[in-house]
Amino acid sequence: MQNSKMQLKNRTYLYALDIIKLIDFLEKKDFSVQVLSKQLLRSATSIGANIIEAQAASSKKDFCKFFNYALKSANESKFWIGLLRDSKKADKERADSLLKETAEIANILGSSILTLKGKK
């Protein structure tokens, strides 16, 4: 289990770096891009931050709470990436790749939460 926690932590860190690269590539003079990219940066980087917080949790309930926050941030990130893609502000191929990674991370988090709650 410890190895899978490290893999998820590293995966979300690399994911956050990819989000930063996407945002740095966007045209910043467009006001909507400024707003959407700030929202995306907050939600996408929050995923890994909440996983780190979960590692310092004092109880299983607290651990699960931080994984829930991370899942909510992943779902929010999917929304912002989709908006950037569909409004043609972001490259479709790059956005689709990030959407796929976001969905995979969200699935891992969701599965982990169900396991923690004893529902899987």
Q: Is the pLDDT of residue 7 over 80?
A: yes
Residue 66 domain boundaries = 2-116
Q: Is the pLDDT of residue 116 over 90?
A: no
Beta-carbon contacts of residue 81 (< 8 Å; ≥ 6 apart):
40, 90, 95, 98, 99, 102
Kindly write down the DSSP assignment for every residue of 52-85, as one continuous string.
HHHHT-SSHHHHHHHHHHHHHHHHHHHHHHHHHH
List the CATH number of the domain containing 34: 1.20.1440.60
Q: Is the pLDDT of residue 112 over 60?
A: yes
Residue the block writes with tokens 């990819």: 18
- Number of structural domains in the chain: 1
Amino acid at 8: L
Task: Give burial (CB, 10 Å; 0-12/13-18/19+) of 13.
Answer: middle
Residue 41 pLDDT: 98
pTM (predicted TM-score):
0.92
